[in-house]
Amino acid sequence: MSKSIEDLLPTKPATRLRIYAYAIHDDAHAGLLKVGQTTQDVKTRVAQQLKTAAIENYEIVLDEPADRSDGSVFRDHDVRTRLKKKGFANPQLEWMRCSVEDVRTAIAELRLHKEYEGTPTQSFPMRAEQQAAVDKTYEYFQSRWAEDSDAVPEFLWNAKMRFGKTFTTYQLAKRLGAKRVLVMTFKPAVEDAWEQDLRSHVDFDGWQYLSRATGGDPSTIEADRPLVFFGSFQDLLGRDKAGGFKPKHKWLSDVAWDLVVFDEYHFGAWRDTAKELFEGEDEKARKKASEQEFGADLETFAEELEERGSEEDQFVPVRANAYLYLSGTPFKVLNEGRFIEEQIFNWTYTDEQRAKAEFAAAHPDEPNPYAPLPEMRLLTYQMPDELLAIASQGEFDEFDLNAFFEAKGTGDDAEFVHKDDVQKWLDIIRGEYAPTQLDALKAGTRPPFPYSDTRLLPHLQHSIWMLPRTASCAAMENLLAEPQNAFWRDYRVINVSAPNVGVGLDALPPVRNAIGSGFDTKSITLTVGKLTTGVTVPQWSSILMLRNLQAPETYFQAAFRVQSPWTIRNPNGDDPNAIEIFKPVCFVFDFAPTRALRQIAEYGRGLSPENPNPEKAVEELVSFLPVLAYDGSHMTQVDAAGILDIAMSGTSATLLARKWESAILVNVDNATLKKIMADERAMAAVMNIEGFRALGANIIETVVNKSEAVGKTKKEKGDDITPAEKKELSAEEKEYKSKRKQIQEKLIKFATRIPAFMYLTDFRENTLYDVITKIDSDLFQSVTGLTVADFELLVSLGVFNAGHMNQAVFAFRRYEDSSLSYTGIESHKGLRRYGLYDTVVAIEAS
């Protein structure tokens, strides 16, 4: 059921943590002050405490905020601890024998010096989903080792940020009894979390941690204590100038690793993310930002990975008992079908928000562990025709944000190419643009523009604006400061893409300084790509997408920056389980609706690759991530079907044909080819594909054997390989790669027959499952050359990429349905567009 606009735009809490002190004027409390904390009105809170004792002779002597300029807070026990260290007595639980000025001094010291009295030892248990991830992975590893003691099992955690992947990984290592754990990442900047989670929790007391940053020789560590070594792919596996592994890391291959962890593992996608995030920076800034985020050897290492292939045994020169892969957006990996269902644990945004709702319903009187995680809202806005005319482009003729916000010049001289139109846009988002005001009067409603609607304004107190170029950020900073834009003077504008701002985490301090506690300030952070991955700014509640981002991985990595919790635990000092939530919802504002809805559609399908129906996958996502669209006169909620219709608008027959000719529809890696070789029926089915027999009966075996032999030789020879041997290996590589390409081409040619079969059938297939059911099985064999059963077998083995093929099937059917509708023909009236089960039920009902 759709929610009303009012339900989707809830009031933002306006509370903050305060330290108070009061005195009771009687002999028993002479010289004593009660020091406490609350997020309520202090008078109300103190009255609540003393009401039951009927005490009226009290006086509140102090009431001050408990936050620092960097956004952190101190608590009443910090104040009392500091007073005790100064020698003041603490005769009762929260009572101090001191003066009001003594309390003020303690507060001032805590606020200015940011001193903490020791680090508490963490002892929290795993949440239910974390325990489930450990259990499923452990059981899979054990089952593989039971089948084959030499097996090296692999497992993927598809877990969104704030799942707690570092803590949970260590719990898995402990469950496995692992003594040597190697953590490798494409993003060196995440090291802090890996080190802190290990050092701060009692469960890992006595574990050893080493990295390039900490120094230390892994060969000299204590053998009986678990070791975690952290490093980046680029550093640990990068080659020297001679093409060999760096001498300082040769020890990697000497250690028998119990568990190798690949963090931020979206193979291939990480490189795309690096390019897309920083493509708008000037060359020097881009290089620095990319190095800070992904390491100095990103490009060189990327080329090496492409040469070596995506199979770990070809590019990781280590001995491992098991591999664990971690990623919040592993869409490419999931679509490639590399991991089967038994090898995947999913914890997505949808899972998180569902858990929050289910816990609240099942345990209404208990603290909800998921409550601090805000629910997201996506609001899209159709720009007026006069602005659309300025910057429309591409295959869908949609609003081009990069062209609209194009700028020239640097620093104070930077200016938008379409400055007058960008000024109109600023007026629009404030609800001050005359034509949209007129449209609102005609419609009888006032649409919720970001900086005009009183329900939205509190959620925009601190926001991040993502722009296409460094010059665009400078131009926006300049425009917001011009005299006509008096409204924006209340906001501190921080341009983190400016040349004088650091890169990576070094760009964070100016933002924190501008935001402070977040209660008394307003801020706008302007960025091209900095601070959109791997950072947490609790006060950010909204992001404005003002640049074209094509990859859903990049789009939602940036969008999830505003989903960080902003809370205070135990606000009143009397309940350690109580949590004050300052950010119940967060917002993504996008001004290119078609592209935004396409991102939602792709993200929804990516979240649930095992879900055979894209519409259901998107439907589940938008139940927790509502989408509101402004069409120029009204703001309405968009359902899953509407999102998919808009996302696929403009799809042509040519584009659909390309989907069925794409290499991503088939898998020809060694693991998949081995599965074919191990199954006689699968081998027979492949040989029945047109043109396959001409390649030779042993072509699959030849490709696998030659590629493995080349990889083994390279690994064994290492730096000792001679130029002649290198030339010979290159020739062999070229040969088996050519044969692998031939296999791929034959499989793709088969895939192109499937839409022909779909076109000839009366049944409206919306999913791959529909295609491989036994309807029209004779026709399927006549058109494709394979039986439905053989095709289903090859799909189950991962020969055909079920995820991408499912999307292609769905796109073809929606295109066909829309074509029929255009001509006045209704496709199977009354049938829901779900799956075979729903279709059969509908037919029987009729």
Give the model confidence (pLDDT) of 685-712 as tens digits: 888 888 888 888 788 888 888 888 877 7
Of the listed ranges 41-55, 228-242, 433-447, 824-838, the least confidently predicted one is 824-838
- pLDDT for res 820: 45
Q: Which of 21, 714, 584 lies closest to 308, judged by CA? A: 714
Q: Which DSSP string corresponds to 87-105? A: T-EEEETTEEES-HHHHHH
Task: Count the alpha carbons within 13 Å of 225 in the hemisphere toward its beta carbon.
Answer: 14
Domain holding 140, by residue range, is 128-347
Eight-state DSSP code of residue 587: E
534-573: b (≥16 Cβ within 10 Å) or e: bbebbbbbbbbbbbbbebbbbbbbbbbbbbbbbebebbbb
pTM, whole model, 2 decimals? Answer: 0.69
Same domain, yes or no, for 207 and 102?
A: no
- pLDDT for res 830: 39
Asked whether residue 617 is domain-assigned, the answer is no
Asked whether residue 120 is domain-assigned, the answer is no
Cβ contacts of 182 within 8 Å, gap of 6 or more: 229, 231, 252, 255, 257, 259, 260, 261, 318, 320
Q: What is the pLDDT of residues 67-121, one digit of tens each?
A: 887 777 888 998 999 999 888 989 888 999 999 989 988 998 888 764 444 343 5
Asked whether residue 380 is domain-assigned, the answer is yes
- Rounded Cα–Cα distance for residues 79 and 116 (Å): 10
The residue-averaged pLDDT of 647-661 equals 53
Asked whether residue 167 is domain-assigned, the answer is yes
Let me know if 444 is exposed, middle or buried by CB neighbors in 10 A (0-12, 13-18, 19+).
exposed
Q: What is the pLDDT of residues 712-745, one digit of tens each?
A: 777 666 666 777 777 777 788 888 888 888 888 8
Report yes or no: 155 and 324 within 8 Å, Cβ to Cβ: yes
Same domain, yes or no, for 132 and 109?
A: no
Amino acid at 167: F
Amino acid at 381: Y
Report yes or no: 667 and 336 within 8 Å, Cβ to Cβ: yes
Three-state DSSP class for residue 611: coil
Same domain, yes or no, for 550 and 671?
A: no
- pLDDT of 145 higher than 90: yes
- pLDDT of 482 higher than 90: yes
Same domain, yes or no, for 226 and 282?
A: yes
3-state helix, strand, coil in the chain (%, to 5): 50, 15, 35
- pLDDT of 526 higher than 90: yes
Phi, psi of 790, rounded to the nearest 5 degrees: -65, -40
- Rounded Cα–Cα distance for residues 134 and 125 (Å): 13
Strand ranges inside 280-432, DSSP E: 319-320, 323-327, 344-347, 375-381, 392-393, 398-399, 407-408, 415-416
Three-state DSSP string of 368-398: CCCCCCCEEEEEEECCCHHHHCCCEECCCCE
Report yes or no: 428 and 407 within 8 Å, Cβ to Cβ: no
Report yes or no: 367 and 615 within 8 Å, Cβ to Cβ: no
Highest mean pLDDT among 127-136, 548-557, 748-757: 127-136
Three-state DSSP class for residue 551: coil
Q: Which long-range contacts (CB under 8 A, 24 or more apart) does 767-776 make?
A: 767/612, 767/613, 767/614, 767/806, 767/809, 767/810, 767/835, 767/836, 768/612, 768/795, 768/802, 768/805, 768/806, 768/809, 769/612, 769/835, 769/836, 770/809, 770/835, 770/836, 770/839, 771/809, 773/836
Picking from 569, 592, 609, the residue at the C-terminal end of a domain is: 609
Amino acid at 144: R
Picking from 305, 332, 347, the residue at the C-terminal end of a domain is: 347
Amino acid at 100: V
The residue-averaged pLDDT of 598-608 equals 78
- Rounded Cα–Cα distance for residues 399 and 390 (Å): 9
- pLDDT of 173 higher than 70: yes
Same domain, yes or no, for 704 and 830?
A: yes
Same domain, yes or no, for 395 and 339?
A: no
The residue-averaged pLDDT of 785-792 equals 81
Same domain, yes or no, for 137 and 103?
A: no
Picking from 62, 85, 113, the residue at the C-terminal end of a domain is: 113
Q: Which of 543, 524, 519 lies closest to 532, judged by CA? A: 543
Number of domains in the chain: 4
β-strand partners of 32: 97
What is the CB neighbour count within 10 angstroms for residue 393?
Answer: 12
Inter-CA distances, 438 with 430, 446, 633, Å: 14, 10, 10
Q: In the chain, what percentage of residues exceed pLDDT 90?
A: 27
Same domain, yes or no, for 109 and 132?
A: no
Strand ranges inside 186-316, DSSP E: 208-211, 227-232, 256-257, 259-263
Same domain, yes or no, for 200 and 275?
A: yes
Same domain, yes or no, for 170 and 73?
A: no
Mutual orientation of helices 723-751 and 699-717 as an angle, nearest 10°?
Answer: 150
- pLDDT of 609 higher than 60: no
Asked whether residue 577 is domain-assigned, the answer is yes
Asked whether residue 6 is domain-assigned, the answer is no
End-to-end CA distance of the chain: 26
- pLDDT of 564 higher than 80: yes
CATH of the domain at 261: 3.40.50.300
Q: Which residue has the higher pLDDT, 248 or 678?
A: 678
Same domain, yes or no, for 38 and 143?
A: no
Q: Which of 626, 581, 156, 607 lies closest to 370, judged by CA? A: 581
Three-state DSSP class for residue 58: strand
Name the one residue in this structure whose structure tokens are 């700014």.
537
Asked whether residue 515 is domain-assigned, the answer is yes
Same domain, yes or no, for 206 and 94?
A: no
Asked whether residue 625 is domain-assigned, the answer is no
- Rounded Cα–Cα distance for residues 268 and 279 (Å): 17
